[in-house]
A and B are shown apart, each in its own frame.
Chain A
Amino acid sequence: MGAKINGPGSENPKMARANPVRKILIVDDESESAILRAVRRRLEEEGWEATVVQPETGYSLGEEFEAAALWSIEQSLPDAVLLDVRFGEHRDDQFRGLRILGELVDRWPKLPILMFTQYSQGQDRETAVRGSLQWDSPVDFIDKLASPDEVVLRLRRLIGVSPEAIPIGNHILVDVSTRQVFVGVGEGRTEALEIQGMKFEIFRELAASWYRSPGELVAFSRLERYSEGENPRASLRVRIREIKDAIGKAMNMRFGPSELILNVRDQGYRLVPPKS
């Protein structure tokens, strides 16, 4: 038995230089639909390699997909799987994806699986979620109408690996491995030299939180670890100001109070990517 794996395998060169390419396997009988094409495009923008499982016979039968998915995972060992629930109109295939999920979790219990489905809520999800909790596996459900950005965010969290480089919008890149912050695009990219030591740690915390969930605030308590003196809150405020000034200088602009790093009163800070 065998399966043909289709995938453009292209990646964003900017990201590919900095981060290892993550392989995402897509198991869906509607992989050529506009929704899936948009998701695949977004995965590629992320610098990930999206491959689509298609049964060799070309039938859209759940059984064929089940066999092809298992074979493909054995062959390509992806970092995560995007799996549909319903395969075709046949009654037996209505929840075929849950059966495939069971097989995958049984064989590869640590493999992150994102169920991409119309049935992202309700009893069917609960049945599968309960099962997955008992199996202690990284499984999540997302609605088929979810935006491609949401799909990428969920996959990031499921895969659970902090990237070596975090691009913030089009103009800022936080290189975690070399502890540098770059500003600008292409040949005009320069290092923001003032962001070193504690300031780099603060910015890295903000960037990592934004990478996991764009709206997530980083509490003062977490950031004050990187502050010194009798008044760590005041010291933190100064460092945040310095970070904004350094990046603003490199971008030839000045960030206002609600730009780049937002202060939520008495709670903490949050990153807001500059508008390009």
Chain B
Amino acid sequence: MSKVLTSVKIAGAVIALGGIVCLILAPLIGGSLSDSLWALEPLTYIGAALLVAGLGVALASYARAEQQARSADGSNGHQQGNSWSETTLQYFQLFDHDLGRPLRRIAGKERELRAVLQAAPGEADAGVVDLLDEIERQTPNFRLMMSNIQVLIQLESPDIEESLQPVEPSEIVRRIADLYTAVAAEAGKEITWWSEPTEMGLVYANSNAIEHIVTNLVDNAVRYATTHVEVKLTNNPSHFFVRVWDDGPGIGSQYVQHLFDRGWTPEVVRREEKSSSGLGLFIARSLARQLGGDLTVETDDNSDGDHHTAFLLSLPSNLSAQPNGFR
């Protein structure tokens, strides 16, 4: 469509140019052919008409192109189209890299200091160790926040498509459990994960998306758990499921409906300062649905009973739609 509009614009410009040429030629021709003035008047009229028509065509094609760009972005509230999102993503990746550099230095120095303290046990103040733990805890937070924003840009860019790849879900869950095991241990909590069946094998999915969704769920679970987080991977012939359970206080039924709202956090209700962006669950469910799956929650906030929260991610295995080129 954009090619047609470009052709129309060029045609309009050519017609308008023809009109200008005619208007310029008219008096020149008129001057040299004084006894043929009859030829001058029509040429002027034709030139003027062509100029008006050409400008009209060109303006109309510009207006049409503008309208198309708006309608393409309308559903997402963007100001620009495809190129905007690509450019934003590129800038963001650069930004992420540059922000990561000082953070790597901070994390590196923190680890060096920890090594120095370990070499001289008993001499360090407990408060110093707590501070180091806090820096270490914030590192996965930073990784997740950066990842959330990147995924959000991609999610809201309809032209960026990710293809299906062969993925081993148990390997993804294992990685995330490894990442959060140390974080949880520092807070006196445990993460246990397992797969049923033990050898689940490959599915065809978007590994970035799965990793992103499950990371958000485990991050939340570790934050709100009292002592335990469990991550269980199961499957049926058409789908695979990741259940992330924590023994935290649970979520009141009046809040469950807002859980997946963009920007909602429990602090919003308590009118306190937000401890997170509130984007994680919104992005997680949007991604799950975009991939043909879903993300649901089951929770119990009964203080006397078995209070807990369990998120269930279900995604299609796409085993019948495996793309060519992969083993």
Contact = CB atoms under 8 A, between A and B. Distances in A.
A215 B225 CA distance: 16
Q: Is the interface of B mostly helix, strand, loop or mixed?
A: helix
A35 B179 contact: no
Contacts of A216: 174, 177, 192-194
Contact of B327 (A119, A133, A148, A221): A133
Interface stretch (A56-64, A122-130, A240-248): A122-130
A118 B96 contact: yes
Nearest to B208: A121
B191 interface: yes
B208 A219 contact: no
29 contacts: A33-B104, A34-B111, A35-B105, A35-B107, A38-B108, A38-B115, A126-B162, A126-B208, A129-B207, A130-B326, A136-B327, A145-B100, A145-B107, A145-B143, A146-B179, A147-B139, A150-B179, A154-B175, A212-B174, A213-B177, A214-B178, A215-B177, A215-B190, A216-B194, A217-B192, A217-B194, A219-B196, A267-B232, A268-B194
A270 interface: yes
B97 interface: yes
A92 interface: no
Nearest to A269: B192
B142 A145 contact: yes
B36 to A, nearest CB: 65
B129 interface: no
Contacts of A38: 108, 111-112, 115
A102 to B, nearest CB: 17
Interface string B85-120: 000000001001100100111011101100100000
A21 to B, nearest CB: 21
A134 interface: yes
Contacts of A264: 192, 194, 230
A157 B326 CA distance: 22
Nearest to A264: B192
Contacts of A213: 174, 177-178, 193
Interface of A: 33-38, 41, 86, 118-119, 121-122, 125-126, 129-130, 133-134, 136, 143-150, 153-154, 157, 212-217, 219, 221-222, 258, 262, 264, 267-268, 270, 272
A270 B181 CA distance: 13
B100 A144 contact: yes
A130 B100 CA distance: 26
Contacts of A134: 325-327
B225 to A, nearest CB: 13
A175 B231 CA distance: 30
Interface of B: 93, 96-97, 100, 103-105, 107-109, 111-112, 115, 136, 139-140, 142-143, 147, 150, 162, 165-166, 174-175, 177-179, 181-182, 190-194, 196, 198, 207-208, 211-212, 230-232, 325-327
Given A41-B115, A118-B97, 19 more contacts: A34-B109, A35-B105, A36-B108, A37-B108, A37-B112, A38-B115, A126-B207, A129-B165, A129-B207, A144-B100, A145-B139, A147-B136, A150-B182, A154-B175, A217-B193, A219-B196, A262-B190, A262-B192, A264-B192
Nearest to B177: A215
A195 B307 CA distance: 38
Given A34-B105, A37-B108, A133 B166 contact: yes
A143 B175 CA distance: 11
Q: Is the interface of A mostly helix, strand, loop or mixed?
A: mixed
Most chain B Cβ neighbours within 10 Å, of A35, A129, A258, A272: A35
Contacts of A157: 174
B246 to A, nearest CB: 14
A125 B142 CA distance: 19
Contacts of A258: 190
A183 B191 CA distance: 25
Contacts of B104: 33-35, 144-145
Contacts of A267: 194, 232
Nearest to B103: A145
B208 A122 contact: yes
A215 B191 contact: yes
B135 to A, nearest CB: 11
Nearest to A221: B198
B198 A222 contact: yes
